[in-house]
Structure 1
Amino acid sequence: MQANLADVDIDPARIAEAAKVIDPLFLDTPQFVDEQLCAALGRRVLVKVETLNPIRSFKARGAQWLLAGYPAGAEVVCASSGNFGQAVAYAAGRRGMTAEVFTPANGNQGKLARMRSLGAVVHQVEGNPREAAREYVRERPGRIFIEDGREPAVAEGAGTIGMELLAAGGIDTVVVPVGDGSLITGVARWIKEHAPRMTVVGACAAGAPGMARSFGSGQPEAAEVDTFADGINVRAPIPESLTRMRALVDEVVLVEDEAMLAAIRTAAQTLGLLLEPAGAASLAAIAEHDLPGGTIAAVLSGANLNPDLFERVLGGAGRS
């Protein structure tokens, strides 16, 4: 399904440049093989842990690279379920900018609190936060609307993860959670440039199948959302991101909420990490699908677990 890489608007040279600009706190994250995890999954798995940082996710890589292109003092606005909003708030605060985030009215309370603690003005809205943010910016000239999934710079920042994975060597397949697509397209752009035979697999929530269906058909298709994986609960794919995915990604699979719940528990038991559902989607995909390759890398993308899920997750953490 891959096209000419020269036609993709994610630039490997800019990925390399991003690695020089992003705060070192978010770079060179742990990547290792844990034998207990491998035994639990029945596969040799290298994990890439993107949760041990001030926002508990990979998102700051892309947000910092994107905002590095704007002047100090800029007023930026975005829509987010929480992790991208945290990343934008963190990056904006360190560049003398202001950040406003539009988020669902019934959003993850833990993520809402963390966005506010990082200095973001948070607008909880009914309906579509992305459309509300766009309308807000239209009425307030001077503010800048930034969109995860559309901005190539966000994917380029995330692509630094691909640089680090390739440095590990010996990987046959990389599995990446898919929401708006910035993470997987950035990682895949670097990999396909430097290791084109490596397989890149995306993991979408079965309760948010819009991106997976669109990847198969080649046309943006909206789908109803019914999943607790708020980090990847995308109803309709962004056309630019879908185009990149069709050019760069080999396969997209669906994972059920129960499989992500099981993967969260597996990570807690074997790695000592408490992931959010989206952050465990790659492990769920490895457990549930017959993916190719001897060694599979799994990107563990976030650990901002909704407090409402604590009892459900931890209540079963000791079960076999």
Structure 2
Amino acid sequence: MQETRLDTDRIRAARRVIDPIFLDTPLYRCEALEPGLGCAVSIKLETANPVRSFKARGTEVVASALADGGGSRAVVCASAGNLGQALAWSGRHRGLDVTVVASRFATVAKLDRIRALDARLELVDGDHEMARERAAAVARYDGIRLVEDSLDIETCEGAATIGLELVATAPSFDTVLIALGGGALATGVGHVVKALAPGVEVLCVQPLGAPAMTRSWRGRRVVTTDSTDTIADGVAGRRPIPAVLDDLLVVADDAVLVQEASIIAGMRLLLDQAGLVVEPSAALGIAAILEDRDRFAGRHVVTIVCGSNVDVDAYRGWVGAGVRH
């Protein structure tokens, strides 16, 4: 494998500092999904933990290092909701002072959970990129640790521990479908899969309304967008990080864009056939299959269900709106 920022030995070490409650999440074949998708489908359920997303794998690594480092125990991050909730959980358990900066337009349920976990929450009148700018300013002014999702290698290598769990079952599957936003999940899992199960295809999936990282991957250079327009707020970034793109270029076999209607159809399938309430980002893998059934016919795919922190009213509107693929 070409050189990346990620290291397989450090990823194995990360498992030892992550609270076991976030490890070894369920992985199972979901046959009820298969008639509608035309391929064998297994689910890696990253919602079965106290913060209902994969993000705590990374924040556990960050918080462990901060708690043991003997320096400042204060930390700040920008978040669409899931990272902030995870950092608040990991920080509270280690006595850290956590500040989360988020858009005031973020999912209310995610913001409420951040507050409930005793983090300081600051809201900005803009999108996630504005929250990133504000978090960086807070870190500079207060002299505290800034956690930047995907840029900070701990967030990628924490997420990569999912890959260790997946490859333990390889070669029983031949494609892994990974939601693509900032890139921590895709680069982390992708690194482990390509290092330890190189025959497995790594396919990244992003909404058509938030295409920056996919366009960057296709063009092999950073491509930014002026805005995003997607219900999948967890992956709605506009400015890819160059170092993360470099890592993604090494491990991703393909990156595809899916329509909003397909995301909603995927959410409905996961509810109706798997009994899972998921946020839009977590349905991206299913959406990719729905949009290109021929590509996946005869394959056994794993899709990482990466989060389920969803506003109940919005969710009811999406899955009950009668949108058909």
CA contact (8 A) 1:265 1:317 kept: no
Deviation at 1:317, TM superposition (A): 7.8
**What is the percentage of aligned positions where both structures have the same residue?**
37
Indicate the SS of the match to 2:142.
Answer: coil
* 1:212 pairs with 2:214: yes
Indicate the SS of the match to 2:239.
Answer: coil
2:37 to 38, 41, 46: 41
CA contact (8 A) 1:174 1:198 kept: yes
What do the CA deviations read for 1:16-69 (whole angstroms, capped 9, x no partner)? Answer: 111122111111111111111111211111110111111110110011012222
Structure 2: give runs of 5+ residues left out of the alignment. none
Aligned to 1:63: 59
Aligned pairs, number: 315
* 1:241 pairs with 2:240: no
Structure 1: give runs of 5+ residues left out of the alignment. none
Deviant stretches of 4+, over 3 Å = 290-293, 316-320
TM-score (normalizing by structure 2): 0.93
Partner AA of 1:297 in structure 2:
V
* 1:51 pairs with 2:50: no
CA contact (8 A) 1:82 1:112 kept: yes
| Equivalent-residue separation in structure 1 for 2:291 and 2:113 (angstroms) | 32
| Equivalent-residue separation in structure 1 for 2:137 and 2:16 (angstroms) | 35
| Equivalent-residue separation in structure 1 for 2:147 and 2:51 (angstroms) | 19
Deviation at 1:311, TM superposition (A): 2.5
Aligned to 1:226: 229
TM-score (normalizing by structure 1): 0.94
Aligned to 2:306: 301
1:82-231 correspondence runs (5 A): 82-127=81-126, 128-141=130-143, 143-169=144-170, 170-223=172-225, 224-231=227-234
Partner AA of 2:245 in structure 1:
L
Partner AA of 1:264 in structure 2:
M
Range with bigger deviation, 304-313 or 260-269: 304-313
What do the CA deviations read for 1:129-152 (whole angstroms, capped 9, x no partner)? Answer: 0001111121112x1111001011
CA contact (8 A) 2:261 2:324 kept: no
Indicate the SS of the match to 2:256.
Answer: strand
Deviation at 1:308, TM superposition (A): 4.0
| Equivalent-residue separation in structure 2 for 1:281 and 1:76 (angstroms) | 31
CA contact (8 A) 1:109 1:307 kept: no
| Equivalent-residue separation in structure 1 for 2:102 and 2:114 (angstroms) | 10
Indicate the SS of the match to 2:66.
Answer: coil
Deviation at 1:319, TM superposition (A): 8.5
1:17 to 1:111, Cα distance in 2 relative to 1, 3 A:
same
CA contact (8 A) 1:208 1:232 kept: yes
Partner AA of 1:70 in structure 2:
L
Partner AA of 2:191 in structure 1:
R
| Equivalent-residue separation in structure 1 for 2:194 and 2:211 (angstroms) | 25
Deviation at 1:244, TM superposition (A): 0.5
Indicate the SS of the match to 1:8.
Answer: coil
CA contact (8 A) 1:269 1:317 kept: no
Partner AA of 2:316 in structure 1:
E
Partner AA of 1:296 in structure 2:
V
Indicate the SS of the match to 2:272.
Answer: helix
Deviation at 1:318, TM superposition (A): 11
Indicate the SS of the match to 2:228.
Answer: coil
